[in-house]
Amino acid sequence: MTNNFETLEDFLGTHLIYTYDNGWEYEMYVKNENTIDYRIHGGMVAGRWVRDQEANIVKLTEGVFKITWTEPTGTDVALDFLPNKQIMHGTIFFPKWVEEHPEITVTYQNDHIDLMEASREKYDTYPKLVVPEFAKISYVGNAGQNNETVVNVAPYEGILEDIRSGKFFDENYQHSK
């Protein structure tokens, strides 16, 4: 794995897989300076995947990067990545309704934005479920910015093994559906 991240430019275009200490497994693609794509592979909302989520992405200091955003579901997320050390820390702030009805959010969210916004009005927000966890980064790939093929299929059994073993992407970091 690469361990020479310094500037924000180094971090943009990076594709990461990590496992939180509570066992939840996530995949993040830092698409460009204000956009992320991701898939969720384990945990409360495993199976959920999202493209083109707007996010705030900054360098805190050399090799340390922070990504923060709020979801159409009302879930808020704050993530700190130390890719040179293969660790990150994330805090997820779930509204009460996602904890009670996680299955509503387990989908390709982009096709169901209206349902997410309706659900966050219909169900309870409070008390929120706060999940702060460290994670170990198991994969770092240099996908380049605005690569539309990194997150272009739903998560399936074995996809992370396919990615980590090098089967998923071709030599130009392209995945054909």
The contact set with ligand FER (CB under 6 A) reads 26, 28, 38, 45, 71, 75, 77, 79, 90, 92
Angle at 30 between CA 25 and CA 35, to 5 degrees: 115
**5 vs 29, beta carbon nearer ligand FER:** 29
Q: What b-and-e string marks burial along 111-148, b requiring 16 or more CB atoms within 10 Å of the CB?
A: eeeebbeebbeebeeeebeebebebebbebbebeeebe
Q: CA 87 to CA 116: how far, in whole Å?
A: 31
Distance in Å, CB of 75 to ligand FER, minimum: 4
- Residue with tokens 């704050």, as numbered in its chain: 78
Q: Which of 18, 26, 29, 38 is catalytic?
A: 26
Instruction: Name the strand (E) or helix (H) holding 141.
Output: strand 129-142
Q: Which residue is nearest to ligand FER (CB)?
A: 38
Distance in Å, CB of 172 to ligand FER, minimum: 24
Whether residue 71 lies in the annotated active site: yes
Nearest to 52 by CA among 33, 37, 70, 41: 37
Instruction: Name the strand (E) or helix (H) holding 130.
Output: strand 129-142
Whether residue 171 lies in the annotated active site: no
**38 vs 169, beta carbon nearer ligand FER:** 38
Distance in Å, CB of 20 to ligand FER, minimum: 8
**5 vs 36, beta carbon nearer ligand FER:** 36
Q: Which of 25, 29, 38, 71 is catalytic?
A: 71
Distance in Å, CB of 128 to ligand FER, minimum: 12
Q: Which residues are catalytic?
A: 26, 71
